[in-house]
Amino acid sequence: MNKMRSEYKKEDLGTGKRGRYYTDYKESHNIVRLKPEVARAFPTEKAVNDALMALIKVAQSSVSKPDSTHVEGL
């Protein structure tokens, strides 16, 4: 059984390959920059995602339900 050592030397780790997981990471993560005022209002990833999911639900429900106040041609 392999045990974790308290310290490792660089030689123990072998050689890495730069960018090895870049494509996989890029395909599974979507990183965006928020304006400072947006970041203050939604300071965590969860806050941003919850707000956007709520907006999506509202948008989808407004599209799927006919608007009784809408008059064709006006």
In a domain, 60, yes or no: yes
The pLDDT mean for the chain works out to 85
The number of distinct structural domains making up the chain is 1
In a domain, 59, yes or no: yes
Domain interval for residue 46: 33-65
**23-52 tens-digit pLDDT:** 888 888 888 899 999 999 999 999 999 999
Rounded CA separation 13/3 (Å): 14
Report the C-alpha dihedral over residues 64, 69, 72, 74, rounded to 10 degrees.
Answer: -130
Number of H helices, E strands in the chain: 4, 0
pLDDT at 64: 65
**Average pLDDT, stretch 5-16?**
85
In a domain, 45, yes or no: yes
